Homo-oligomer: A and B are copies of this chain.
Amino acid sequence: MLTIGKLGSKAGVKVPTIRYYEQIGLLPEAERSAGNQRLYGSKALERLAFIRHARDLGFTLEAIRDLLSLSDNPDQSCAAADAIAKAQLLEVENRLARLTALKAELERMVVQCAGGRIADCRVIEVLGDHSLCATDHLHPETEETP
Contacts and interface: CB of A to CB of B under 8 A. Distances in A.
Interface residues of A, number: 65
Interface in A94-124: 95-96, 98-100, 102-103, 105-107, 109-110, 113-121, 123-124
A142 B104 CA distance: 23
Interface stretch (A1-9, A21-29, A66-74): A66-74
A31 interface: no
Contacts of A86: 110
Interface in A23-77: 46, 49-50, 53-58, 67, 70-71, 73-77
Contacts of A73: 118
Contacts of A77: 115-118
Contact of A71 (B88, B96, B124): B124
Contacts of A89: 103, 106-107, 110
A103 B92 contact: yes
A146 interface: yes
A120 B81 CA distance: 11
B124 A106 contact: no
